Amino acid sequence: MRRAFLVAAACISVFLSPGRSLAAENSIKVGAWLPMTGAVAAYGQDAWSGLQIALEMKPAILGKKVELVLVDTKSDKIESANAMSRLIEKDKVVAVIGEMISGDTLAGGPIAEKARVPVVSPTATNPLVTQGKKYVFRVCFIDPVQGEVAAKYSINTLKARKAALIIDKSQDYCVGLAKFFKDHFRKLGGKIVAETYCVTEDKDFSAQLSTIKPTQPDVIYAPNYYSPVALFTKQARELGIKAPVLSGDGAQADELIQIGGKEIEGVAFTGHFNPKAAATALAKDFIARFEKKHRNREPNAFHALAADAYFVLLDAVSRAGGTRGEAVRAALATTKNFEAISGKLSIGEDGNAVKPMVINIVKNGRFEYLATVNP
């Protein structure tokens, strides 16, 4: 009985363990270093389904099949570092796509740097992620730009003069973005009336909101991930706070709307992508395939940017003519005017992408497109 159970358990664990593959020798292995579970599971899962479509669109390079090796970072910094080591040492990948959030990418970056394995992050926006690193790249804009656009939108469009903030102290992304917003908002003549803090697993924001309420802000800036933004905004409305809530690119997951319900209406955020603003040929193909595969769903920023990371990486491999780390790195660094799904992008200084940004707003339970801001 016990033995039968153990055998069954072993079979199940083999069946379930991610990243296991019976790979042919003649393939190029690329690591998919994604948060499939934990606080930001939606990013990883969206990225993974975006990568599936990208793989379908371009399954081979240099005559070899591309094989994606998935590892779960559990949305955790320590797990992210371990997952990166595993990809490099055990799976022997030639390059890595991921992580989706800044804190996790910062945790695994140095390991890849040391092993000279190029990393392309779809959506890690904190400037530190690539700073001083030769092998870490990204296909998204960075937070100083995002903070500036959010501050300008608050002052010019929302006519806000007083802003309140809530900052997740345990996320590099939130701390960075809040700082850039504050700097620009003050520079444009605005005043920060309240600054409150939380940590990643928090679900109750009533104390922070009750502190914010008497300061009567014109706008509340909540640069955070989808779950906390949804819960925070919901609780704000329940406490009778009517000020518009503004967020960053982390807000764009279906869960924001599902969890936030009708209270989330009117939340605007700076983002990477909106299918309605997509212009390139690659984008049209991607959106068509996505909508065919996932009925009643639109691709969001995380689907699109994961695919962009894939295409940019493959483009670099083909220009490098091989998969040697140094050569791919050099090719990645010289990416120019690549027609990606999220618009035309070039890799600039520090391995950061130079590209347009969109402003989205939640309207009638959907992400609606508001404006595009060019670099």
Rg (CA), the chain: 21
Residues 6+ apart with CB under 8 A from 50: 290, 299, 302, 303, 304, 305, 306, 307
DSSP 333-373: HT--SEEETTEEEEE-GGG-EE--EEEEEEETTEEEEEEEE
User: CA angle, corner 81, sides to 78 and 85, nearest 5?
Assistant: 140
Q: Residue 202 Cβ, how far from another protein at the closest point, in Å? A: 7
Q: Residue 210 Cβ, how far from another protein at the closest point, in Å? A: 5
Residues 6+ apart with CB under 8 A from 22: none
Q: Kindly identify the residues of this chain, within the stretch 161-190, that bind another protein according to CB under 8 A.
A: 167-170
Q: Does 131 bind another protein (CB under 8 A)?
A: no
Pairing of strands 64-72, 60-61: antiparallel
Among 90, 114, 203, 276, binds another protein (CB under 8 A): 203
Among 18, 38, 127, 375, binds another protein (CB under 8 A): 38
**Is the alpha carbon torsion for 127, 99, 97, 249 positive or negative?**
negative
Give strand ranges (E) for 215-303. Answer: 219-221, 245-247, 268-271
Q: Does 368 bind another protein (CB under 8 A)?
A: no
| Stretch near another protein under the rule CB under 8 A, chosen from 206-214, 308-316, 335-343, 351-359 | 206-214
**Of 178 and 340, CB closest to another protein:** 178
d(CA 40, CA 238): 25
How far apart, in Å, are the Cα atoms of 127 and each of 2, 34, 229, 315, 351?
53, 20, 22, 24, 10
Q: Residue 217 Cβ, how far from another protein at the closest point, in Å? A: 14
Q: Residue 166 Cβ, how far from another protein at the closest point, in Å? A: 9
Among 84, 198, 306, 320, binds another protein (CB under 8 A): 198
Q: Does 8 bind another protein (CB under 8 A)?
A: no
Residues 6+ apart with CB under 8 A from 77: 103, 104, 106, 107
**Of 71 and 316, CB closest to another protein:** 71
Size of the site for another protein (CB under 8 A): 40
Among 28, 32, 36, 70, binds another protein (CB under 8 A): 36
d(CA 46, CA 165): 28
**Of 118 and 176, CB closest to another protein:** 176
Q: Kindly write out the interface string for residues 243-262 of this chain, putting x where it contacts another protein by CB under 8 A and - elsewhere.
A: ------------x--xx-x-
* DSSP letter (8 states) at residue 27: E
Q: Kindly identify the residues of this chain, within the stretch 45-84, that bind another protein according to CB under 8 A.
A: 45
Q: How many CB atoms lie within 10 A of CB 349?
A: 9
Q: Kindly write out the interface string for residues 286-325 of this chain, putting x where it contacts another protein by CB under 8 A and - elsewhere.
A: ----------------------------------------
Q: Residue 365 Cβ, how far from another protein at the closest point, in Å? A: 12
Q: Does 207 bind another protein (CB under 8 A)?
A: yes
**Residue 97 host element (H or E):** strand 95-98
Q: Does 208 bind another protein (CB under 8 A)?
A: yes
- Residues 308-321 as b or e (16 or more Cβ within 10 Å = b): bbbbbbbbbbeebe
Q: Residue 234 Cβ, how far from another protein at the closest point, in Å? A: 8
Q: Residue 186 Cβ, how far from another protein at the closest point, in Å? A: 18
Q: Residue 232 Cβ, how far from another protein at the closest point, in Å? A: 11
d(CA 74, CA 224): 18
Local structure of 246: helix, strand or coil: strand
**Of 263 and 339, CB closest to another protein:** 263
Q: Which residues bind another protein (CB under 8 A)?
A: 16, 36-38, 41-42, 44-45, 167-170, 194-199, 201-204, 206-208, 210-211, 213-214, 227, 230-231, 234, 238-240, 255, 258-259, 261
